[in-house]
Structure formats: structure tokens, C-alpha cells
Amino acid sequence: MLYISYFMENPFDGVILFIPFLIQWWWIFLPPILFFIFKELWLYYVKIGYLSRMSWTMLEISVPREVFQTPKAIENIFASLHSISIPPEFMEIYRKGKVQDYICLEMVGGGGKSHFYIRTPSGLKGYVSSQIYAHYPKAEIKEVSDYTADMPLNAPDTQYDLWGTEMKLTKEDGYPIKTYIEFEDTVEEKRIDPVSSLIESFAQLRDNEQIWIQILIRPTYAPWDKEGQKLVNKIIGKKAASKKDWADKFLDMMFLPIKIMLSAEGGKKEEKKEPSLMQHLSPGQKEIVESIERNVSKLGFDTAIRTLYIGKRDVFNRANIAAIMGFFKQFNTLNLNGFRPNSEISPRVKFPIFKKQREYARKKKIYRAYRLRLPAKINFIFNTEELATIFHFPSTVVEAPSTPRIEAKKAEPPINLPI
């Protein structure tokens, strides 16, 4: 204890004495450190190579003028798309850099028009199209070029300015956001489409400005229902069963015969059932518990959301940034979950040193990540219902003229048509 107190009072002397120890035993500490550094660099290298070799297809979806399907149709599509990918094996990850297939859902507005895109690996193009046609038989799907190519490669520049961010949740993934079911009413005329505000914002955009919304999704195989159960247990005050380590398991095995003998002599004891804690919860707490249990009961997707507003400097209007944030705010609830921008990604920085240079670097970074559809820094799990709330084709309730509609359905000529 005297040595410890001395070195705490004189830390510099402790460092001086520790240096010879490091010099003598460096060969024990250094290899593991270098191994983990090399592993991360190697994974980054092979993953970038794998993603650069992937072939992608951009699909634009146009819906007919009369769409009576609710977002439930899109939810069914997402449930089907949960089977698109199988987790890569260990050797595929470290040798080829293989990643689990993912899909980009994108909503774009510019020049007073709105567009809905799905960017998918080329091998999944047919499957994705078939699922859309299954629920929207009169939709029109066409392969188009990447719309981001119409903008400068290295924005912001002297002509264009931009703002962008990634969205994050205010609470844990198990808490749901406000979904489309809560926007609906039993009367059709009173049903509100959650994307209507975004479509109206698209309609106000001029020719030299655009709003981009990007949602990256891939099926999750993580047992996120267990995470939801932990949240429920925390709310109701139920103690989680403590996990036994190997020592506890070994002792249980050693004393198992004694436990069996004692139980045989004492007879079977009636197990006491713990009283339900739900009856002591307030109505608000019961609603939260029910919402969490319903949320984690559906299929989940690893999700990341990016948004970006870009326009020429002479027409750049920061009110459009407020319109983007207003779209996401409508899904927020104080007792459950909601969206907020990631301050580590957003261009605005608080520390004044090199403020302009750092904000410029952040804009370049978010713009590059959006164009390349790179994996996001913030990921969370959304179920099919939450995804369908954020991304779905506007129904008949939305009458914005900016939404492209199909006036007539294209069809193949009859087989017996004379030539």
C-alpha cells in the first residue's frame, strides 16, 4: 500500500520505472495491439473492394392516379424482402469482404416534382419488382440512371451549397415511433398520409434545388425481441435472471446429486408464483409496454436514414431544411420514440476554431456518403410497420400535382393480333 500511495502522489516516477518494463516485455503487448489494428484495416480494405465490385440497379416506381392501398401494402412488401439476404460466412467476410445485401429506399424532390426510387443489387432486381407488382399491379417500374449524377461531383462548390445529416432515434430501438396506423381513421376522408407533408415540400422546390431522403435497409437476424423484453422488464420492475458464468455452472453440476437427494427427502415444494406487476402500472406505462411488445413482434431491419438538401447558392433556402426536419418530427412522441439529427454528422459545429473549414469538410463527407450509399455511422432497428410509415407510395389522399401518376396502364399486345 505504501508503494501504491507513493506512486499515486508521484505519478511521473511511476512512468519512469514502467518504461524499462515495457522495453523488456514489448514482444508480449505489441503483437495483439498490432493484430487488432491490422484486422480493422484489412476488413475496411476488402469491404471497400467488395462494394466497388457490386452491380446496382436503380428502379423508379410510378403509381396509378387512384391508389387505395394503405401503407399496409408496403409493409407486406418489406416482410417479403426480409428473405433477400443470408449472413455471410466467416471466410467470406475476411477473404472477400462480403457484406450482407442491402437495399436503398429513396424519395427525391426537385423542380416541383417528386420521385420514388429503390436502388437494389442487380441480382435482386426481378424479385423486388415482382413484390411491388404483387401489391401494386398497375404500378410502372422502370430502370433509370442515378439522379445524383446530375449534380456536381464535388459539392459544395462555388455554385452549389448543401446541408445534410443522418437521423438517429431519441430512445432505444425497442420503443416504436408513431406509425401509419395512428394516422388513420375509420372514415376514409379523414385518413392522413404521413408522406403528404414531404410531397408538398417537394412541390415548392425550384429547378436548381433538390431534397434527397435515403433509407438503407438490410434484414436483421439479431434477437431484438429479447432487447424489447429487457425494456419491458425495466419498466415493470422485474429483475432479469442473472447469467451464470462457468464457475457457477461447475458448482451446480458438482452439487447436483445432493440437491436431488434433498428434494427427494423433502418432497416437492410448490413453486410460488410471482404476482403480476402489470396491475401496479399507470395507464401510460401500460401503453408503453404494449407498444414495445407489439413493436418487437414484427420482422426487423437494420436501418440508416440520410437526408440532404442541395441547391444553387442564389436559390438556396434554409426553410427547406426546416421542412425536412418537420417531416421527421411528425413521427415523434414524448413517451415512445422519435427522430433527431446526429450532431456529429450535421454541418453545424459549435466550437469556433476553424468553424468554416470544419463545416465545409462535414458537408463534403455527407455528400460523398450519400452518393456512394456508404454504410451509415448510426444504425437502428426498424420493423416493417415503421419502415412502411416512412417510405410508401402516396395514396389517393395525397393530391399534390408533383407526384408522377400513370394515366394509362401499359400492356402487351394480344397474341392473336394480325401482323
Answer yes or no: do 33 and 139 share one domain.
no
Would you state the cell numbers that stand for residue 304, as one nine-digit string?
A: 440508416
Confidence check: pLDDT of 368 > 80: yes
Range of the structural domain that residue 132 is part of: 56-226+286-406
Answer yes or no: do 84 and 35 share one domain.
no
Cell 455528400 maps to which residue? 367
Q: Which residues of 391-409 are buried (b: 16+ CB within 10 A; e: fewer)?
A: bbbbbbbbebebbeeeeee
Mean pLDDT (the chain) is 80
> How many domains does the chain contain in total?
2
Q: What is the pLDDT of residues 328-338, one digit of tens each?
A: 999 999 989 99
Answer yes or no: do 90 and 174 share one domain.
yes
Residue 232 lies in a domain: no
Bin 392: left if φ > 0, else alpha if -120 < ψ < 50, else beta: beta
Residue pair 355/349 in contact (Cβ under 8 Å)? The answer is yes
Answer yes or no: do 37 and 60 share one domain.
no
Answer yes or no: do 35 and 90 share one domain.
no
Answer yes or no: do 196 and 336 share one domain.
yes
Q: What is the mean pLDDT of residues 107-135?
A: 91
Lowest mean pLDDT among 7-16, 215-224, 378-387: 7-16
Return the higher-pLDDT residue of 390 and 394.
390
Answer yes or no: do 307 and 187 share one domain.
yes
Q: What is the pLDDT of residues 90-100, one digit of tens each?
A: 777 778 777 77
Beta strands in 197-280 (DSSP E): 209-219
Answer yes or no: do 161 and 106 share one domain.
yes
Confidence check: pLDDT of 207 > 80: yes
Lowest mean pLDDT among 24-28, 122-126, 162-166: 24-28
Q: CA–CA separation, 340 vs 156, rounded Å?
A: 24
- Determine if the peptide bond prior to 156 is cis (ω within 30°): yes
Residue 277 lies in a domain: no
Q: Residue type at 361? A: A
In this prediction the pTM is 0.78
Answer yes or no: do 207 and 301 share one domain.
yes
Residue 416 lies in a domain: no
Lowest mean pLDDT among 219-223, 267-271, 320-324, 366-370: 267-271
Answer yes or no: do 7 and 122 share one domain.
no
Q: What is the pLDDT of residues 269-324, one digit of tens each?
A: 555 555 556 667 778 888 888 889 899 999 999 999 999 999 999 999 999 999 99
Residue 267 lies in a domain: no
How many alpha carbons fall within 13 Å on the CB side of residue 196?
Answer: 11
Residue 271 lies in a domain: no
Answer yes or no: do 145 and 16 share one domain.
no
Q: pLDDT tier at 3 (50, 70, 90 boundaries)?
A: very low
Would you state the cell numbers that stand for residue 7, as one nine-digit string?
A: 506512486
Answer yes or no: do 60 and 23 share one domain.
no
How many angstroms separate the Cα of 368 from the Cα of each of 23, 141, 142, 312, 364?
Answer: 44, 27, 26, 18, 6
In this structure, the number of other CB atoms found within 10 A of the CB of residue 309 comes to: 23
Q: CA–CA separation, 364 vs 156, rounded Å?
A: 7
Residue 249 lies in a domain: no
Residue 106 lies in a domain: yes
